[in-house]
Copies of this chain bind each other. A is one copy, B any other.
Amino acid sequence: MTDLYDAIHRRRDVRGQFTGAPIPAPTLDRVLSAAHAAPSVGLSQPWDFILVRDAGVRATFHAHVQQERDTFAATLAPDAAERFRPIKIDGILESTLSVVVTYDPTRGSPAVLGRHAIADAGLYSACLAIQNLWLAATAEGLGVGWVSFYREDFLRGLLGIPAGVRPVAWLCVGPVTHLEATPDLERHGWRRRRPLTEAIHEERWTPAPPA
């Protein structure tokens, strides 16, 4: 039994602590079942999970991510570029498994209950599944790292994902040596966490206090 709040507050976006050790099949099944138990607009369950273990495919993706990292670095002011340099952005090669989560807008179409006014509602559902996966993995002693330095079309081509289906996340998953107490980006001085009180508004939107 794992405490929900413990999983929520210990969870980290992992880049550097993967061991590469195997994930027992029943563990992976519990984690994917948790993802699949997420809520979805109109009960459409528009997600799919592609499990990528192949080293060659992962190396190809990793090279693409490195390119995108350079593209991003080139947009930064010198001081930001300096802070970005030591930050590791992925664990694609070191993690045991990659799970690519996709969104299929045709699932349950044409009449997806609850999606007529908000086209993105199906995309939101896929994200809810990702958070369930992430918390279950944390509870199981696994780390998860979300890689978003990629072009969706590149990933479609790499994994044979049809044109109408959208890749939402590349998740690195696997056993880790430990979870850091402080998020990587905060440890590296990239950005500080915001106090919860600033995010809460009573009854109506209230502008942020002057910085």
Using a CB–CB cutoff of 8 Å, the interface residues on chain A facing chain B are: 1-5, 7-9, 11, 13, 30, 32-34, 36-39, 41-45, 47-54, 57, 68, 71-72, 75-77, 80, 84, 87, 89, 102, 108, 111, 113-118, 120-121, 123-124, 127-128, 130-132, 134-136, 139, 146, 148-152, 159-162, 165, 168-169, 183, 185-186, 190-194, 196, 199-205
Closest 10 CB pairs of A and B: A127-B127, A131-B131, A43-B185, A114-B148, A128-B131, A50-B201, A43-B191, A36-B196, A160-B205, A4-B4
- Tell me whether B1 and A3 are in contact (CB under 8 A): yes
> With A2-B5, A5-B136, A8-B132 given, can you name 10 additional A-B contacts, CB distance below 8 Å?
A11-B39, A42-B190, A45-B193, A48-B201, A51-B203, A89-B114, A113-B191, A127-B131, A131-B131, A131-B132
- Tell me whether B205 and A162 are in contact (CB under 8 A): yes
* Number of copies of this chain that the complex holds: 2
Partner of A45, one of B1, B33, B194: B194
**Complex interface: chain B residues within 8 A of A201 (CB):** 48-51
With the chains together, A151 CA to B173 CA distance in Å? 37
With the chains together, A183 CA to B149 CA distance in Å? 36
